Structure 1
Amino acid sequence: MSKHIPNDHIYQEAQLAPMTVAEINKLTANARALPPSGDQTHVLVEDGEDPWVVSHGGSLYYCTVDRLKQKVMVGKFSHLKEMATAELVQVWPGKQGTTPEYVEIWAPELQLIDGKWYIYFALYNAKNGAERLFALEGISGHPQGDYEFQGQLQIPTDRWAIDGTVLATDDGQLYFVWSGWEGFTNVSQNIYIARMSNPWTIASDRVCISRPEYEWEKQGYPHVNEGPQVLTRNGRIFIVYSASGSWTDDYCLGQLTYLGSDMLDPASWRKEPEPVFSKTDTIFGPGHACFVEIDQQDYIIYHAARRSQAGWARQVRAKPFIWNADGSPNFGVPE
């Protein structure tokens, strides 16, 4: 495996705007050397991104990567304030199954489906358009135990794909939701959904349910919809996603609401016309969230830029959120 610098996203070098990857990496390095803006009370991890936290059996589990982004790690802890100091156990690459060549692992997610643990992630290969999504299946019954590599999630319309997550309906049907390109060039990242026949097998072609269309989704180029996450309550289903360039101050969260009927019909999803979580005067680029309920309180856990113009220097933050009278989430503003 060749040496690399994390966040050195070579395949985007010619496309990212309004600055190059080299310029973004310089901003990132500068920001890490400067004090962060914003109140640090709610910071869980001082240097981190793409958080994934799940509650199970009275414990919390944090699925992440090592700082070189070459290992999938899972930490166990009791309270959110312990997240940064929890011991991280490497679960992949492991002893089971094959290990493909890769340069980085992106945005792993740990999910419990039908009593088994699964981890989903993208592999980055520093080749234009080569990123794809993969699945691990737990074989020990414990989030920090052994996993078997199940390989790539094979989608009939095979295109660049990252940020995969699973949506499970009350009747047990599984759907896969992710961010991908429409074609073979990086002009826009859209949100796609497909039906699954089991937790590692796609059983339909993809359907686009969101593409960047509002100005708040189109800050920076290419235009971005990514990081979709499923949020459910009282039978209602929402997909909260990240919009605009992750390297910009304007990275934010948008929301899709499921209206009923066919999940694979784009008309079954309504997009909110405004972001549901966006920057403040001191906290910039809030995005790539996950949601966890702790002691009957719902939390949004997300990453935000260390300061304005911070590139990819990010912190993991958390805050409680409430629900509106119509049953939709109300995240308030970043803290």
Structure 2
Amino acid sequence: MENIYRNPIVIQRADPCIYKHTDGYYYFTGSVPEFDLIELRRARKIEELQDAETFVVWRKHEEGEMSQLIWAPEIHYINNKWYIYFAAAPDRVVTGITFNHKMYVIECEDKNPLIGKWVEKGRVETGWDSFALDATIFEQNGKLYYVWAQEDVNIEPNSHSNIYIAEMENPWTLKSKAVLLSKPELDWETKLYWVNEGPAILKKNGKIFLTYSASATDENYCIGMLSADENSDLLNPKSWRKSSKPVFKTSYENKQYGPGHNSFTVSEDGKLDLLVYHCRNYLELKGDPLSDPNRHARVEVIEWNEDGTPSFGVPSKDIKEFKV
């Protein structure tokens, strides 16, 4: 199927999250290049998001926790309230460590989250104190689940982050202990950095598909996938099957490099499932890839295989040209 969207959708927004609400709006958030705040925008059509007005709903603290490197905000709507999950690092002067992220939640009870009041619900405690980020949530069979990435050198000394799942008591508190679902172990998960991060959930055909991003955030960045039956015990690692190869990766032909940190949404008519992700359109990076602002938000139409699994294809060519 030819892609019906003209990529990129939103420029310089890494870790993109697009949520289509019952009001007909697409709500968009993602990491801003300065990593200092959380913004939201909305539009009736996906391609209108680039020019939609942006609203800053939260800013980093001046010091202490939540004062550095605000990463990967993700918006959800649960029990008639809005929630944004994100990762933040503490003040570098206090800790001396830059990448020491923890996971946090903010909540909004207002109908319109762009102009509503957002309240900090605090840090999500996972049971141990280490680098943690990239939380997502989903509901299944009346239960709320939390999926995230966290470091545990006792599981894999080389790993910067593994994928975990737990049941939730409420949208900011875990109910069960963390369960390890995936760690970087395959060759495509361990290029330059041993990483499993950025989980996202897609439910279809009686299955739950959990995608995640792997390896360094340059051209090696790619997407892997776990899958489970929708009625299985999701807290049992044996319920999940891991793909042996990446399901979405760099396309040198289309000049799209390091696709990853995805989310999922649907088309305007609700008939098509969509992959939302970020990518760069050039290889030449100077310094740390995280300091390069040109990871642009993009969308691809998902096709479905005969066995009920998703086919993500390859990153499409750029159609739009934006001044950066």
Q: TM-score, normalised by structure 2?
A: 0.84
Residue equivalent to 1:161: 132
Contact 1:157–1:205 at 8 Å: present in 2 too?
no
Contact 2:13–2:31 at 8 Å: present in 1 too?
no
Residue equivalent to 2:247: 276
- For residues 229 and 141 of structure 1, the distance between their equivalents in structure 2, rounded to whole angstroms, comes to 25
- For residues 42 and 129 of structure 1, the distance between their equivalents in structure 2, rounded to whole angstroms, comes to 31
Which residues in structure 2 correspond to 1:125-140 (within 5 Å)? Answer: 125=90, 126=92, 127=97, 130-140=100-110
- For residues 298 and 143 of structure 1, the distance between their equivalents in structure 2, rounded to whole angstroms, comes to 24
CA displacement at 1:100 relative to structure 2: 4.5
CA displacement at 1:158 relative to structure 2: 2.9
- For residues 251 and 114 of structure 1, the distance between their equivalents in structure 2, rounded to whole angstroms, comes to 35
Deviations 1:145-191 (A, max 9, x none): 2111100011123321100000210x220111111101397743110
- For residues 101 and 228 of structure 1, the distance between their equivalents in structure 2, rounded to whole angstroms, comes to 21
Letter in 1 for 2:298: R
Identify unmatched segments of 5+ residues in structure 2.
317-324
- For residues 247 and 276 of structure 2, the distance between their equivalents in structure 1, rounded to whole angstroms, comes to 14
CA displacement at 1:250 relative to structure 2: 1.4
Which residue of 73, 88, 96 corresponds with 1:108?
73
Which residues in structure 2 correspond to 1:65-84 (within 5 Å)? Answer: 65-84=31-50
Contact 1:134–1:153 at 8 Å: present in 2 too?
yes
- For residues 79 and 290 of structure 1, the distance between their equivalents in structure 2, rounded to whole angstroms, comes to 17
Q: Does the C-alpha gap of structure 1 residues 135 and 262 become closer, same or farther in structure 2, counting only changes over 3 Å?
A: same
Contact 2:159–2:183 at 8 Å: present in 1 too?
no
Contact 1:129–1:159 at 8 Å: present in 2 too?
no
Identify unmatched segments of 5+ residues in structure 1.
1-39
Contact 1:117–1:142 at 8 Å: present in 2 too?
no
Residue equivalent to 1:308: 283
- For residues 99 and 215 of structure 2, the distance between their equivalents in structure 1, rounded to whole angstroms, comes to 19
Which residue of 190, 196, 209 corresponds with 1:225?
196
Contact 2:80–2:109 at 8 Å: present in 1 too?
no
2:273 matches 1:298: yes
- For residues 277 and 259 of structure 2, the distance between their equivalents in structure 1, rounded to whole angstroms, comes to 7
Contact 1:157–1:206 at 8 Å: present in 2 too?
no
Root-mean-square deviation (CA, aligned residues, Å) is: 2.1
SS in 2 for 1:45: coil
2:202 matches 1:236: no
SS in 1 for 2:49: helix
Q: Does the C-alpha gap of structure 1 residues 41 and 142 become closer, same or farther in structure 2, counting only changes over 3 Å?
A: closer
SS in 1 for 2:15: coil
Q: TM-score, normalised by structure 1?
A: 0.81
Indicate the percent of aligned positions where both proteins have the same amino acid: 36
Residue equivalent to 1:172: 142
CA displacement at 1:128 relative to structure 2: 5.5
Letter in 2 for 1:123: A
CA displacement at 1:242 relative to structure 2: 0.4
Residue equivalent to 2:224: 254
Contact 2:149–2:161 at 8 Å: present in 1 too?
yes
Which residue of 322, 330, 334 corresponds with 2:303?
322
Which residues in structure 2 correspond to 1:55-66 (within 5 Å)? Answer: 55-56=20-21, 57-66=23-32
Which residue of 275, 278, 287 corresponds with 2:260?
287
Which residue of 83, 86, 90 corresponds with 2:56?
90
CA displacement at 1:129 relative to structure 2: 5.8
- For residues 133 and 199 of structure 1, the distance between their equivalents in structure 2, rounded to whole angstroms, comes to 12
Comparing 84-93 and 64-73, the one that deviates more: 64-73
Which residue of 127, 151, 157 corresponds with 2:122?
151
Contact 1:124–1:131 at 8 Å: present in 2 too?
yes
- For residues 130 and 64 of structure 1, the distance between their equivalents in structure 2, rounded to whole angstroms, comes to 20
Residue equivalent to 1:264: 235
* Alignment size in residue pairs: 290
Which residue of 182, 189, 192 corresponds with 2:152?
182
- For residues 181 and 104 of structure 2, the distance between their equivalents in structure 1, rounded to whole angstroms, comes to 21
Residue equivalent to 1:203: 175
CA displacement at 1:64 relative to structure 2: 2.7
- For residues 228 and 161 of structure 2, the distance between their equivalents in structure 1, rounded to whole angstroms, comes to 20
SS in 2 for 1:216: helix
- For residues 305 and 138 of structure 2, the distance between their equivalents in structure 1, rounded to whole angstroms, comes to 22
CA displacement at 1:325 relative to structure 2: 1.6
Residue equivalent to 2:89: 124
- For residues 207 and 270 of structure 1, the distance between their equivalents in structure 2, rounded to whole angstroms, comes to 15
